[in-house]
Amino acid sequence: MTAPAQETFPPPPELARSAAEAGEHAERAAADRLGFWGDRARELLTWETGFEEVLDWSAAPFARWYTGGRLNACVNAVDRHVAAGLGDRVAFHWVGEPGDTRTITYSQLHEQVQRAAGALEALGVQPGDRVAIYLPMVSEAIVAMLACARVGAPHSVVFSGFSAEALRTRIEDAGARVVITADGAFRRGAAAPLKPAVDAALAAGAPSVEHVLVVRRTEGEVAWTEGRDVWWHDALEAAPATHEAQAFDAEHPLFILYTSGTTGKPKGILHTTGGYLTQAAHTHRTVFDLHPETDVYWCGADVGWVTGHTYIVYGPLLNAATSVVYEGTPNTPHEGRWWEIVQQYGVSILYTAPTTVRTFMKWGEQVPARYDLSSLRLLGSVGEPINPEAWRWYRRNIGGDRTPVVDTWWQTETGGIMISPLPGVTTLKPGSAQTPLPGISAEVVDDEGAVLAADGAETTGYLVLTEPWPGMLRGIWGDEQRYRDTYWSRFPGRYFAGDGARRDADGDIWLLGRVDDVMNVSGHRISTTEVESALVSHPAVAEAAVVGAADETTGQGIVAFVILRGGAGEGGGAGDVADLPQALRQHVATQISPIAKPRSVLVVDELPKTRSGKIMRRLLRDVAEDRAVGDVTTLADATVMGRISAGLRAAPGED
Is the backbone peptide bond immediately before 333 cis, with ω within 30 degrees of 0?
A: yes
At 566, give phi and psi (nearest 5°): -60, 125
Q: pLDDT class for 3, splitting at 50, 70, 90?
A: very low
The predicted model scores a pTM of: 0.85
Residue 652: pLDDT over 50: no
Per-residue confidence (pLDDT) for residue 478, from 0 to 100 = 94
Per-residue confidence (pLDDT) for residue 513, from 0 to 100 = 79
Q: Tell me, what DSSP letter sits at residue 312?
A: I
In this structure, of 265-274, 350-359, 637-646, the range with the lowest mean pLDDT score is 637-646
Please state, rounded to an integer, the average pLDDT across all residues of the chain.
90
* Alpha-carbon gap, residue 118 to 153, rounded angstroms: 12
Percent of the chain with pLDDT over 70: 91
Is the backbone peptide bond immediately before 388 cis, with ω within 30 degrees of 0?
A: no
Q: Which position has the higher pLDDT, 15 or 350?
A: 350
Per-residue confidence (pLDDT) for residue 493, from 0 to 100 = 94
pLDDT digits (tens, 9 = 90+) for 8-43: 999 988 887 777 788 889 999 999 999 999 999 999
Q: Which position has the higher pLDDT, 618 or 373?
A: 373
Q: Which residues of 606-645 are buried (b: 16+ CB within 10 A; e: fewer)?
A: bbbbbbbbbbbbebbbbbbeeeebeeeebbbeeebbeebe
In sequence order, the 6+-apart residues with CB closer than 8 A to the CB of 369 are 397
Q: Which position has the higher pLDDT, 629 or 300?
A: 300
* Alpha-carbon gap, residue 502 to 408, rounded angstroms: 15
Per-residue confidence (pLDDT) for residue 106, from 0 to 100 = 98
Residue 648: pLDDT over 90: no
H helix or E strand, kind and range, residue 172: helix 164-174
Per-residue confidence (pLDDT) for residue 488, from 0 to 100 = 97
Q: pLDDT class for 569, splitting at 50, 70, 90?
A: low
Contact (CB, 8 A) for 350 and 288: no
* Alpha-carbon gap, residue 384 to 517, rounded angstroms: 12
SS (H, E, C) 335-373: CCHHHHHHHHHCCCEEEECHHHHHHHHHHCCCCHHHCCC
Query: What are the structural domains, with CATH classification, of the chain?
Result: 13-329+408-502 (3.40.50.12780), 522-649 (3.30.300.30)
How distant, in Å, are the alpha carbons of 98, 119, 349 from that of 278?
Answer: 36, 28, 21
pLDDT digits (tens, 9 = 90+) for 314-339: 999 999 999 999 999 999 999 999 99
Q: Tell me, what DSSP letter sits at residue 549?
A: E
Per-residue confidence (pLDDT) for residue 636, from 0 to 100 = 60
Chain centroid to CA 155: how far? 18
Q: Is residue 122 classed as helix, strand or coil in its secondary structure? A: helix
Q: pLDDT class for 522, splitting at 50, 70, 90?
A: low
Per-residue confidence (pLDDT) for residue 2, from 0 to 100 = 44
Per-residue confidence (pLDDT) for residue 457, from 0 to 100 = 79
In this structure, of 352-356, 398-402, 407-411, 440-444, the range with the lowest mean pLDDT score is 352-356
Residue 655: pLDDT over 50: no
pLDDT digits (tens, 9 = 90+) for 460-519: 899 999 999 999 999 999 999 999 999 999 999 999 988 999 999 899 999 987 787 777
Per-residue confidence (pLDDT) for residue 146, from 0 to 100 = 98
Contact (CB, 8 A) for 359 and 330: yes
Compute the average pLDDT of residues 252-264: 76
How distant, in Å, are the alpha carbons of 122, 210, 211, 325, 599 from that of 207?
Answer: 20, 8, 11, 34, 50
Q: pLDDT class for 1, splitting at 50, 70, 90?
A: very low
Strands of 60-123 (E only): list them: 62-67, 70-71, 90-95, 101-105
Residue 263: pLDDT over 50: no
* Alpha-carbon gap, residue 596 to 590, rounded angstroms: 9
In this structure, of 54-63, 106-115, 236-245, 542-551, the range with the lowest mean pLDDT score is 542-551
Q: Which position has the higher pLDDT, 196 or 652?
A: 196
In this structure, of 68-72, 149-153, 185-189, 476-480, the range with the lowest mean pLDDT score is 185-189
Residue 614: pLDDT over 90: no
* Alpha-carbon gap, residue 432 to 434, rounded angstroms: 5
Q: Which amino acid is at 168?
A: R
CB atoms within 10 A of CB 448: 7
